[in-house]
Amino acid sequence: MSKIRLEITRCKGCGYCVEECPRGALRFSGHISDKGYDTVMVDESLCVACGSCYRVCPDRVFEILE
């Protein structure tokens, strides 16, 4: 079961979550969104669902599922 869900259309590529993630599970994808931002992607094998990304995201991209 998935631990984390990303609503990637909201991402503005600020990078707060990439810096905050204690497991290094988040990184920039290189995919440029319709709004022109380099969005983030998650490596679920590293994610421990701690919620740090949810707390620091200004744009409500993350949902922690467990």
Partner 1 sequence: MKLKAPESVFSSASFCPGCGHGLAGRLIGEVAEELGIEHKLVTVVDVACCSFHIDYWKFDTIMAAHGRDIPTAVGVKHVRPDSAVMAYMGDGAAYAIGMAETIHAALRNDNICVFVINNSVFGMTGGQMAPTSLPGERTATSPKGKDPARYGTMSGLELVKQMDVAYVARGELIGSSGMVRAKTLIRKAFTHQLNGDGFSLVELLSPCPTNLNLPPVKAKAFVHDEMTKYFPLGEFVDKGGNV
| Residue ranges in contact with partner 1 by CB under 8 A | 10, 12-16, 19-20, 37, 49, 51-52, 54-60, 62-66
Min dist. Cβ of residue 45 to partner 1 (A): 20
**Residue with Cβ nearer partner 1 (43 or 65):** 65
Residue 5 identity (one-letter amino acid): R
Looking from the CA of 18 toward its CB, the CA atoms found within 13 Å total: 12
Q: How far apart are CA 26 and CA 22, in angstroms?
A: 9
Residue 8 identity (one-letter amino acid): I
Min dist. Cβ of residue 41 to partner 1 (A): 17
**Residue with Cβ nearer partner 1 (9 or 43):** 9
